[in-house]
Structure 1
Amino acid sequence: MYKVFVNDKPLFLTNEIKKETDFKFFLLESADINQIIINFFQNKLDKAYLYHPDEKEIMKTLKAKIPVSKAGGGLVYNKKNEVLFIFRNGKWDLPKGGTEKGEEIEDTAIREVEEETGVNNLVIADKLQKTYHIFKRNGIYKLKITHWFEMRTSFEGTPIGQLEEGIEKVAWLNPEQIKEALKNSYENIKLLFLEEKEIH
């Protein structure tokens, strides 16, 4: 099952038919994806399921219905085991951004962390899960697939947020501060930290 966030609310892609009735259930093949997305943004939907019988085909079917934007990002640890966060649009987030033509996704993730925070000497330690969310750009809804990597750095300078990307501050947060920050973050980012807990 995939979890795609629309306006920070879950749209589940599933190959199981659910009998419950407290949410909307759509057939992926015939669903009007744009209308479903609009309903999320207008707060007419809080969660919904898109059904397709073949799990291997689910994501492919969704991608055929909506343009895809590919991004890479980093969950970056320093020597003190603090995590690098950025603050943008009133929420705590992790550094990430779109791929450039011909760029490997690992290179995208490292470049974006460096550009958005000024932190360098980055080494990829592990590949984390992908996250999915739908956003609007130039009047068109797109599916953003972000490939996340756990990174380590020996960087000891002061991180500096990329102003033109609207980053107001950059901070290294310890586990207690992370807990606080996640209360004012995105569902996708929370998923990454759930995964981290399971790994470590």
Structure 2
Amino acid sequence: MYKVFVNEKPLFLTNTVERETDFRMFLLESVDIEQLIVNMFNNKVKKAFLYHPDEKETLKVLKEKIPVAKAGGGLVYNKKGEVLFIFRNGKWDLPKGGIEKHEEIEDTAMREVEEETGVSGLEIVQKLQKTYHVFKRNGTYRLKITHWFEMKTNYTGKLFGQIEEGIEKVAWLNPEQIREALGNSYENIKLLFENVEIEK
């Protein structure tokens, strides 16, 4: 099952029919996806399921209905085991950004981390899960698919938030601070930490 966030509300792509309780269920093939997204942005729908009988096809069918933007980002650790966070639009986030033409997604992720935070000497440790959310740009709704990578660095220099990206703050956060930051973060970012052991 895929989980796509629309204005921080979950839209599940599923191949199982469940009895409706606190959510609405739609047929992925026939749904007016734009209308559903507008309703989610306007808080008329809090949670929805899009049904398609073939689970492998669900994401493909959704991509045919809405333009896709591909991005890469990093969950970056330093030598102390702290994680690199950025603060923008009033929330804690992880550095990420859109792919450029002829660029490999791993290169996108490392370039964006460096541009948004000033941190260099990055090394990819492993590929993490992808996250999905819908955003609006120039009047068009798009599905952003972000490829995440765990990275490490020995960088100890100054942190620089990319001003033109609206980044107000860049910080290395320890486990306790991470737990606090996740209380004021995005659902997709919380998802990434579900499988990460934050030391007590």
TM-score normalized with structure 2 length: 0.98
One-letter amino acid of the counterpart of residue 24, structure 1? R
User: Shift of residue 72 of structure 1?
Assistant: 0.1
Distance, in Å, in 2 between the alignment partners of 1:22 and 1:176 is: 33
Q: TM-score, normalised on structure 1? A: 0.98
2:22–2:47 Cα contact (<8 Å) kept: no
Match of 1:82 in 2: 82
Aligned counterpart, 1:167? 167
2-side partners of 1:132 and 1:102: how far apart? 22
**1:22 aligned partner:** 22
CA distance in structure 1 between the aligned counterparts of 2:59 and 2:195, rounded to whole angstroms = 21
3-state DSSP of counterpart to 1:196 = coil
Could you tell me which amino acid in structure 1 is paired with residue 177 of structure 2?
Q
Q: Report the Cα offset of residue 163 of structure 1.
A: 0.3
Alignment of 1:27-66 (within 5 A): 27-66=27-66
| Aligned position for 1:98 | 98
State the Cα deviation string for residues 21-52 of structure 1 (Å, max 9, x = none): 32100000000000000001101011000000
Q: Structure 1, residues 120-152: CA drift from partner, whole Å, max 9, x if none?
A: 000000100000000000000000000000000
Gaps of 5+ in 1: none
Q: Which moved more, 1:61-70 or 1:11-20?
A: 11-20
* RMSD of Structure 2 on Structure 1 (CA): 0.9
Question: Which residue of structure 1 aligns with residue 127 of structure 2?
Answer: 127
Q: Hey, what's the Cα distance between the residues in 1 that align with 2:139 and 2:170?
A: 30
> How many pairs were matched up?
198
Q: Which segments of 5 or more consecutive residues in structure 2 lack a partner in the other structure?
A: none
AA matched with 2:34: N
Asked if residue 138 in structure 1 is aligned to residue 138 in structure 2, the reply is: yes
| Deviant stretches of 4+, over 4 Å | none
How far the C-alpha of 1:19 sits from its partner, in A, is: 1.4
1:155-174 C-alpha deviation (Å, 9 max, x unpaired) = 01011100000000000000
Identity %: 76
Between the aligned partners of 2:22 and 2:81, the Cα distance in structure 1 is 41
